[in-house]
Chains A and B, each alone.
Chain A
C-alpha cells in the first residue's frame, strides 16, 4: 500500500504558536486512521496543515510523496477533500449548486459544470442521502443535512485523501452510521481517510488504526484494541473507563466510569464491597468518587464489577472467570473485612460458587459494620436457603438492611463517621 498522506516530523501551527510538534504519521490508500484526543490537543490543526490553513514550520507534510509546499491550491483540492466541523451556509444557493462548488478544481476558468459534473454531483448526493434536498436552499437546511452536503461537496472533488473533522457531530444515529459506512466503503475502494473522532466507540469501530494526540504530541498509533487501553484513557483524557468488546460488532468499546477530577480527595475510611454479576458497579463508583478506600471482593474476571473495579484501580480479591470462591479467596476476604470500617453486601445472587464469600464476611465481620443492600431472600438465593440463613443470622446480630444503594451509602457514611475516621473531610 502506498502512503497517500504523510507527516514527517511536522511542527504545525499558526503565526506565533506551534500547536502540533514533531508529528510523524502516514495514512495509506485503503486505510481509515482515526485521530483522537482531548479538546485543543491539535486534532483539527493536523488536518488544517494539509489544506494550508495551518502552517508547517519544520518537517514536511506530503501528499502522494510530494511536499505540500510544491502543490498549488487547485491541484491540492483535486487530491484532498475535507469535511469540516462547521459548515456556514448563510446564502441561498440550492443544495445542488452547493455540491457542484466542489467541482471547482476540475473546471477551467471559463468552463461551466457540464453534464458529467452534474451527474457526478447527483451520484454523490444519492450516496450521502441528500438527493432529495437538491432544490432546497442551503440556508434552510439543518446542521445534519449541511454536514452530509459538505461530505458530498468533498466527494465530488474526487479526492485521493479524505479528511473528516468530526464529520458526524451533527448527525442522528442512523445517518452517523450511514456516513461512516460510506466512508469505510470509500476507503475499501482505495481512498485514504484521516478522521477526527470524539466518539471513541465509533473511532474503534471504523478505524483500521487509531492515532492519539495529546497536548500537540502524537502518542501511540496502532490498531484500536492496542491503543484504546484504560491506561491511555486515564493518562490522555483523565477518565477512568472500562474498555470492553462490543458483543455484536466485536469492536472495542469504551465505557467511561468517572472523571479523575470528580474524585474527592478526602479519606473517608475503608469499605469492602461484596459484589458480582454487575450488582456492585454503581456502588463501587459512588464510593470511590466520595473518597472511600474501596475494596471489592471475590470478583470473577469477565464480570462487569471486575472490569469497573479494575478501571478504578480498587483493591480487589479476584478470581479466574467462572471460578468458585476457594479457601484462599475466603481467607483474603476475611482479612480485608476485618480491617474495613464497613462491609457492604451488594444485591448479588448467591449460589454455590460464591456462598463461601458471603459466609466469609457475614460470619466473621462484626455484624454492626455490615450492611446488606436489600434483604437476601429466595429470589436470589440459589443455595437452597443456606445463604438466606447466613444473612438472617447476621441481621439478628445487628447487621443492617438498606433498601437501595442510596440508603446503603448513607448508612456507610454514618458507620465510617462513627468509627471516627471520616474526620478529614472538610
Chain B
C-alpha cells in the first residue's frame, strides 16, 4: 500500500519507460508498412495535422490510414489489458480475462445484433454498436456469475467453465445471425475475424471515451482492489463495501470490453497476458499495476498489429494470431524465469 521510496521510484521509472516504449512503438507503427516512412517525416505529417497546416502529398497515408489505425490499436490494447486487471482482481484468479469469461463473445453478439439492425445506416452504427456490445458484455458476465454461484458462493472453476461454455454458445449465435443475413453482412464478417483493418478516426473517437470512463473509475479505487486480493470477507472487515465495489468493477470492465470489441472484434490473450507480465515485473500493487497494464496493453497491441500487417505483406494476418503466437511463449518464459528465482 505504501511503497517505500525505493519501490515508488521503481514504479515511476517503469511507467516512464512504458510511455517511451509506447511512443517508439507507435512511431514504428506509423512509419512501417507497404510504403516506409522515416520517423522525421511521420512526425512532420502528424505535426502538420495538429497545426492544421497544409498537407504534403505523402501525408494522407500517415494521417488518414496509419495513424488512426495505430492509435486505435493502442486504445484497444489498453481496454483489453485494463479489463484483464479488473477481472483478475474481482475474481482473484489469474485466469480471469474478458475472453475466457465469455464477455468478448457477449459483446460480439451484442455488436452483431446492432450491426444487423443498422445495416446500411452507417451513422447509427457508431452509437448502437458500442451500446450493443456493452449490453452484451454486462449481460454475459451477470449470467456467468449467476451460473458460477448456484451453490451460494462463487466457485472459480464453475466461473471459468461457465465463461468458456457461454462463449461458445454466444459465438455460435453470432455466426447464425451472420449466415442468416449473409447479403448485408460482408462488413460484419470482416469485423468478426478480429482486427483493425477498417480503422478510421471515427472509431478512435468512439473508443477513447469508453476507455477513459472505464479506466478512470477503477483508477480511483486501486486501494480497494489491493484489499480485495485478501478475499471478500477480509475486505469487508477492513471497511470495503464489497458488493457495491464488485458492481462498479463489473460495469467498468464491461465498458472496456465493449469498447475493444466494438471496433476490433474478438482478440484474445492481451487481457490475460499483459497484466501478468506487468505483475511479474512490478508486483501486485494496483496503483501501479492498473496504469502500467493499460500502457503495456497499448504497446503490445500496436506491436502486434504492426507485425500482423508487415510480416507476410502484402497478406495481412488477423492480429489475434499474432498476439497468441508472440504472447504465449513470452508468458511461459516469464513464468519459468520467476520460478527459477525462488
A residues engaging B (CB < 8 A)? 14-15, 48, 51-53, 72-74, 76-78, 80-82, 84, 87-93, 96-98, 100-105, 107, 109-110, 112-113, 117-118, 153-154, 157
The 10 A-B pairs with the shortest beta carbon distances in the complex, nearest first, are: A77-B239, A105-B239, A100-B1, A91-B284, A113-B2, A82-B237, A74-B239, A73-B241, A97-B1, A51-B237
Given A84-B234, A110-B220, CB of A78 within 8 Å of CB of B239: yes
Q: How far is the CB of B264 from chain A (nearest CB, A)?
A: 31
A157, B283: Cα distance in complex, Å:
25
**How far does the alpha carbon of A113 sit from the alpha carbon of B226 in the complex, in Å?**
14
Please tell me if the beta carbons of A101 and B233 are within 8 angstroms of each other in the complex.
no
- Cβ-neighbour of A117 out of B2, B3, B240 (below 8 A): B2
Tell whether B227 is near chain A: CB-to-CB under 8 Å. Answer: yes
Contact of B227 among A89, A104, A112, A157 (CB under 8 A): A104
Taking a contact as CB atoms closer than 8 A, the residue among A15, A52, A90 that contacts B236 in the complex is A52
Closest to A153 in B: B238
Q: B10 at the A/B interface (Cβ < 8 Å)? A: no
- A107 to B287 Cα, complex, angstroms: 15
B residues sitting closer than 8 Å to A (CB atoms) are: 1-4, 92, 152, 220-221, 223-224, 226-227, 229-231, 233-234, 236-242, 283-285
- A residues near B4, Cβ cutoff 8 Å: 96
**B236 and A104 within 8 A (CB):** no
Q: CB-nearest residue of chain A relative to B3?
A: A97
Is chain A's binding surface mostly helix, strand, loop or mixed?
A: mixed
Q: How far is the CA of A91 from the CA of B224 in the complex (A)?
A: 15
How many A-B contacts at CB < 8 Å in the complex? Answer: 86
Residues of A within 8 A of B92 (CB): 90
Contacts of B224 in A (CB 8 A): 104
B1, B220, B283: the one contacting A113 at CB < 8 Å is: B1
**In the complex, which residue of chain A has the Cβ closest to the Cβ of B223?**
A104
* Given contact pairs A72-B241, A109-B220, A93 touches B2 in the complex (Cβ within 8 A): no
Closest CB of chain A to B232's CB: distance in Å? 9
Bound together, the chains give a CA A107 to CA B221 distance in angstroms of 12
Contact, CB under 8 Å: B1 / A105: no
Contact between chains at A101 and B230 (CB < 8 Å): yes
For residue B233, which residues in chain A have a CB less than 8 angstroms away from its CB?
A: 48, 51, 53, 84
Once A91-B229, A97-B1, A97-B285 are accepted as A-B contacts, the answer to whether A15 and B239 lie under 8 Å apart by CB is: no
Q: Pull 8 A–B residue pairs with CB atoms less than 8 Å apart, ordered by A.
A: A51-B237, A73-B236, A77-B238, A88-B230, A92-B284, A93-B229, A93-B283, A100-B1
Evaluate contact between B231 and A88: CB separation under 8 angstroms: yes
Which of B2, B221, B237 is close to A77, meaning CB atoms less than 8 Å apart?
B237
Contact B226 A93 (CB under 8 A): yes
Bound complex: CA of A153 vs CA of B226, how far in Å?
A: 14
